[in-house]
Amino acid sequence: MIEDWPPLPECIQTARCLLRPFSTADADDVFAYRRDAEVLRNMQVALPFRREDADVFVATQVLSDWHERCVWAMEQDGRVVGGVSLRIARGKRRAEVGYELARWLWGGGLMTEAVSAVIDEAFRRLPIIKITATATAANVRSIRLLKKLGMQREALLRQHWVHGGRVLDEVRYGLLRDEWQPHAAARFEQ
Ligand SMILES: CC(C)(COP(=O)(O)OP(=O)(O)OC[C@H]1O[C@@H](n2cnc3c(N)ncnc32)[C@H](O)[C@@H]1OP(=O)(O)O)[C@@H](O)C(=O)NCCC(=O)NCCS
């Protein structure tokens, strides 16, 4: 039965980081990377991001219902440097992944590693058939990451967002269960 879906693990250890639930004590760490407008440039988050916004952000993550939306803080060297979320639509047997990373760590493949681990857990433990992701068309890093994960572009929504005075197109990506195993196997064999 759909209601019997098991919860995803609260902690996932990858080679370089620990994914674990947010705590209210993480607000300073979150502020340290979210105060950088470049991190929020392609996300629907009001700017500027203030210290009190970090308190609200972590409180929201802490209160999130784990059965509906899993959200992991990404911890490296005892510090939160980002987050990965997975919103689960049980009725549709689908999940939507989201992520953010401190700018000083961009380009090192850390988020590819973290999101891969989450996708792996989701496909292994839940009877979902598809994982989706959205990005602004301008978010080249995020799109590159989605392609590296084997995601296929499925839609372009033109002039779909207005953010920070910019009108942005949105792209939607999807990864089917059947596509993940061969893709993951090929990647790990390299
Ligand atoms: C999206 C995000 C998590 C990516 O993190 P990252 O550490 O750069 O990710 P990775 O290093 O795993 O992969 C990024 C890829 O983009 C590539 N890239 C970087 N700049 C690029 C550019 N201008 N054009 C094309 N590709 C680019 C990198 O080379 C890398 O690919 P490679 O491993 O093949 O070399 C990070 O940029 C981020 O947190 N951004 C802000 C929040 C955000 O936008 N979240 C997503 C909302 S949809």
Encode pLDDT of 136-183 as tens digits.
Answer: 999 999 999 999 999 999 999 999 999 888 999 999 999 999 999 877
The H-or-E segment that residue 130 falls in is strand 130-136
Cα 150 to its chain centre, rounded Å, is 15
Mean pLDDT across the stretch 36-55?
Answer: 95
Which numbered atom of ligand 1 lies nearest the CA of 101?
Answer: 39
From ligand 1's centre to the CA of 107, what distance in Å? Answer: 6
- The CATH number given to 10-189 is 3.40.630.30
**Model confidence pTM above 0.85:** yes
Q: In the structure encoding, which two tokens stand for residue 12, read together?
A: 């996932």
Predicted pLDDT of residue 61: 98
DSSP code, position 118 = H
Alpha helices in the chain, H assignment, sequence order: 27-34, 37-40, 51-63, 110-125, 140-148, 177-189
Long-range contacts from 84-87, C-beta under 8 angstroms, 24+ separation: 84/19, 84/111, 84/114, 84/115, 84/118, 86/8, 86/118, 86/122, 86/131
Pocket residue to mutate for ligand 1, from 74, 144, 151, most atoms within 8 A of Cβ: 144
CB atoms closer than 10 angstroms to residue 23:
12
> What type of residue is 115?
V
Predicted pLDDT of residue 9: 98
Predicted pLDDT of residue 190: 52
Q: What is the pLDDT of the chain when averaged over all its residues?
A: 95
For the chain, the straight-line distance linking the first and the last C-alpha, in angstroms and rounded, comes to 38
From ligand 1's centre to the CA of 108, what distance in Å? Answer: 9
Domain coordinates in residue numbering, the chain: 10-189
As a whole-number percent, the residues of the chain with pLDDT over 90 amount to 89
pLDDT tens per residue, range 65-122: 999 999 999 999 999 999 999 999 999 999 999 999 999 999 999 999 999 999 999 9
